[in-house]
Structure formats: structure tokens, C-alpha cells
A = this chain, B = another copy of it.
Amino acid sequence: MRSERGLLIVLSGPSGVGKGTVRKALFEQEDIHLNYSVSATTRKPREGEVNGVDYFFKTREEFEEMIQNNGLLEWAEFVGNYYGTPVEYVEQTLQQGKDVFLEIEVQGALQVKKAFPEGVFIFLAPPSLSELKSRIVGRGTETEEVIQNRLTIAKEEIDMMDAYDYVVENDEVALACERIKAIVTSEHCRRDRVSKYYKQMTEAE
């Protein structure tokens, strides 16, 4: 009972929230039926990194050619190196009815959303957000400046969420993984996806 096309699952969130850690823990689990989309980059491989597994390692010329040919779903430059998501793997895997998982920066996620609005966008949130309330209530232990500073950051993080479908708190990596798995299962049960599939099936008659 799956839709014919796979789901595109995008995990993103503010830098430092632990996206990479959660993604690794998720793919270490045995009952995962997600396909990780390997990024392309122009940075040099680090010791032990394998081309096609950790990254697709490219020259600047190759990467710029991919940009020119619309070969990237999203890309950005960080400290002199390009990073991006090759569109071909994503497209092919989805067409095979398999789910694709991306773990990318917030700016990249917004680019992907433009190309794949039907994707499932998950915002990984720092636990500090939900701790905020007790901090505010428990005043006296922290200065007004610290609290106001934390509130300003929190408001920015909350504004970032607006483009996403789900918010998963990274309070514990194992819990965050469970929530992401539940979201994937649940999205496969969404009526608009399922009934479209059934309707095609009966109308083919």
C-alpha cells in the first residue's frame, strides 16, 4: 500500500543541532528503508572517505558544469568549497518507488522545497527550545541579558521552521530517530497519497 513514487525526506535544522549524528544513527538501524542521497563536493577527501559513499568528489570544473546543466537539486559554497545534491540519483530512486533521504543545511532545504514541494520537510530542533520555558520560569539563576539573548535566537529558529512540515526535537538521538521513522511511516499512510493510488487502480478499469 505505497504510492507508486517514493517519498523525498529532507532533514535539516540550524547548524550545530546534530543533523549528521541523527542521520548516521538512523542509517545504522536495520529496519530502515530509506536511501541516503550522497552529496557532491569539491573539497578533498579526508582519510577513509570513499567516493560515492561519503561524497561524490568533484573538481570545481565538474561541479560548475553540474550547476550549469541543472544537475543539482540544491548547492552552496562554504569556505571555498562547493557542496550540492545531484538531482539524478534522487529522481531515479523516487521513480523506482523508493524513499530518498537528504540531510542538508537550511538554505539547501529551501531550494529543494521549490523543486519538490511534495517532499517531507523535517526540522531538527535543539532541545534548548523546549527548555526555554523552564528557563524563563526559573529566572534568577540567569541574567536578563542571557534570557533575552536566548529568546532572540529562539525566535529566529522558530521562524526558520515555517517552511517545514514537521519539527523533531533532538533531545536524545534515539528518540529523534524514532520520531523520524514514525513520520516516514505516517506519510506513507496519508490519505491524499493512498487514495490517489487506489483511484488510479480502479479507474484503470
Interface size class of A (residues with CB under 8 A): 35 or more
Instruction: Flag if B186 contacts A154 (CB, 8 Å).
Output: no
Asked whether A167 lies within 8 Å of B182 as measured between CB atoms, the reply is: no
Interface positions, chain A 145-160, Cβ under 8 Å from B, are: 151, 154-155, 158
| Contact of A186 (CB < 8 Å), options: B155, B166, B195, B198 | B166
Chain B residues whose C-beta falls within 8 Å of the C-beta of A164 in the assembled complex: 191
- In the complex, which residues of chain B have a beta carbon less than 8 angstroms from the beta carbon of A181? 182
- Chain B residues closer than 8 Å to A178, beta-carbon distance: 185
Instruction: Say whether A154 contacts B190, CB under 8 Å.
Output: no
A residues 168-196 with Cβ under 8 Å of B?
A: 168-169, 171, 178-179, 181-183, 185-187, 189-191, 194-195
Closest 5 CB pairs of A and B: A186-B186, A182-B185, A182-B182, A167-B194, A166-B189
